[in-house]
Amino acid sequence: MIFWINHYRRTLRFIISILLLAVCQFAYAQEEKLPAKETTATPKTDSKDSKPKVERDFKPSAVNVGMEAIGLGRTAISSGFTQLEAQADIDFDRYFFVVDLGHERNSIANDEFNYSNKGNYIRMGVQVNMMPYNPDRNFFFFGFRYARSNFSDEIQYTGDFDKWGQKSISLANNGVSARWYEMTMGLKVKVFERLYFGYTLRYKIGKKMTGFDELTPRNIPGFGRADKNSNAGFNYYLLYNIPFRNKPIPKKPKRVFRERSDSTPSNQSLPSNSFQNRF
Amino acid sequence: MISARVRLLVVFSLFGLLCYACNNIPDCRNEIAPNAVKLKFYDSTDSTSLEVNFDSIKAVNTDSVFYQDTLLSYYELILDPTSTTSTFLFYKSDQVDKLELNYSKNIAIISEECGPSVTFSEIALSDYSFDSVALINDFLDQSLSENIEVYY
């Protein structure tokens, strides 16, 4: 058990962080302002409630397109790293189909070796908006992605191999491919007009890599360290919302309470910050 | 409303900073894979450990001498990282014995600081002139006591 905990310490730490983050996000989301007329409610005590009717609108209304910001920043300040990633999503009610397309180049070197790696990746998946009634269309989501990467890498290595003396090794992989799955969560916040800023936390699992020979790739574009079966990821996105039809922000459906004959008086109201008035 | 948005952005940015994990600093000495085959000599008559004196042990494709005038029962022979075959020659008086090994090799970068490491696996006996040789373990590991038994 102790071995297991030690072995998966970083994974556990990540999962715990995600859970804490989710709790914080939900707690923050509770503070949304709502119209004054919604601050009272019919009595709850001894009443029989019926399920609220939620109106669905699965017709897409807008696409969000944007770029990943951390990769752009690292590309600007680092000579051995390039990452360009675009993201697009389209809405189907509170569900969003998301596609990420990226290109990554990475090289590391010292006096003995020079390793370079370049390739493209795609992630596709669905995310569910957990706060669909937000007036700014801010967006807290959980999602799932399937990802693929195709890349090549090479190494030139000159080392002192003990009794064999100093020798040079040149190896290359062409046409390596990898796939993995991602569990995601994140937040998108309206910054100005149709401009949104958002982050995505990823937990990447189920990595499978094929097409390499004597050289084991160090990085998988879009995944990270190739010697690990799971990785955590974090991205900031700058997104622009392009609507193609006017879709009103849905109103939070209210629970309808049917009073029983022996119920308490109906002028007893719930506190203004009661759960049903939030989100 | 603006203050709520600013507050949300601040919270949002702080989460980003919190999400960076600390990277472990690798210990290069522990990370580099073993590169030597462990060869142990046994008496061919009673299978007991046998100390054998060789004038020298050399390998094809290098001028280096792996061992010189040694009396041991256990020898470690470093494999050629640029090839998938290593041929070792054991000199004793007028006699020269040969041991040729085939193997797979793999190069992986441990870290930027430690650089690449060559890992050997799937070791196989391809040719030898000793009377009897047995492959016990076809991979290299620090914990193993021997890879090849030579009955001399």
Reduced to 3 states, what is the DSSP secondary structure of residue A144?
strand
Q: Which candidate in B3, B105, B109 is best for mutational testing of the A interface (most A CBs within 10 A)? A: B109
Selection from B98, B94, B12 nearest residue A69 by Cα = B12
Residues of chain A in contact with residue B106, where contact means CB-CB under 8 angstroms, are 214-216
More confidently predicted of A19 and A116: A116
Per the prediction, chain B carries an average pLDDT of: 85
Nearest to B106 among A33, A157, A216 (CB): A216
- Please report the pLDDT score of residue A267 as a whole number: 47
Query: pLDDT tens for residues A195-223?
Result: 999 999 999 999 999 999 999 999 999 99
More confidently predicted of B41 and A15: B41
Residues of chain B in contact with residue A172, where contact means CB-CB under 8 angstroms, are none
Mean pLDDT of A95-122: 95
* Yes or no, beta carbons of B81 and A167 under 8 Å apart: yes
- A256-260: list long-range contacts, CB under 8 Å, 24+ apart: A256/A49, A256/A50, A256/A52, A257/A42, A257/A43, A257/A44, A257/A47, A257/A48, A257/A49, A258/A47, A258/A48, A258/A49, A258/A50, A259/A42, A259/A43, A259/A47, A260/A46, A260/A47, A260/A48
Could you tell me if the ipTM is greater than 0.85? Answer: no
Query: pLDDT tens for residues A68-108?
Result: 999 999 999 988 899 999 999 999 989 999 999 999 999 99
Q: How far is B44 from chain A (nearest CA, A)?
A: 30
Q: How far is A230 from chain B (nearest CA, A)?
A: 14
Query: pLDDT tens for residues A48-58?
Result: 556 666 678 88
* Yes or no, beta carbons of A234 and B20 under 8 Å apart: yes
Residues of chain A in contact with residue B112, where contact means CB-CB under 8 angstroms, are 108, 110
More confidently predicted of A153 and A135: A153
